[in-house]
Amino acid sequence: MTATMTGPLHLTDATFDKDVLKNDKPVLVDFTATWCGPCRMIAPIIEELANEYEGKATIGKLDVDENPETSMNFGIRSVPTLLIFKGGQVVDQIIGATGKEKILAKLRPHMA
């Protein structure tokens, strides 16, 4: 693994405001849980996106069990749920495991 591979940002209730809502780039947040099979299926895709789009978008993961406040604020009822934020607002969402192309199709329009 090279030094440039950083992977997704580890988000928490405490850092969500600064890292997501006040971010000047589009942010993809993967609401996930350790016990969730589909979450583990998309984890490598989230990892890839974090490395490929570093500097263009912020890709983060938030464990719903460890951070119930943020999950509740955004009405997360099932995982994985991917929310795309821009300018502090949710601009798109994907619920359930999906492929990289579908995620990119929703994320790309927000990366200007």
Domain borders along the chain are: 9-110
Tell me if residue 75 is catalytic: no
Tell which CATH architecture fits domain 9-110: 3-Layer(aba) Sandwich (3.40)
Could you read off the pLDDT tens digit of each residue along the chain, which spans 112 residues?
344 567 999 999 999 999 999 999 999 999 999 999 999 999 999 999 999 999 999 999 999 999 999 999 999 999 999 999 999 999 999 999 999 999 999 999 999 7
The angle that helices 100-107 and 37-52 make with each other, rounded to 10 degrees, is 50
Catalytic residue among 27, 28, 33, 36: 36
pLDDT at 5: 60
88 and 75 in contact (C-beta within 8 Å)? no
pLDDT at 4: 53
Tell me if residue 36 is catalytic: yes
Catalytic residue among 39, 57, 59, 107: 39
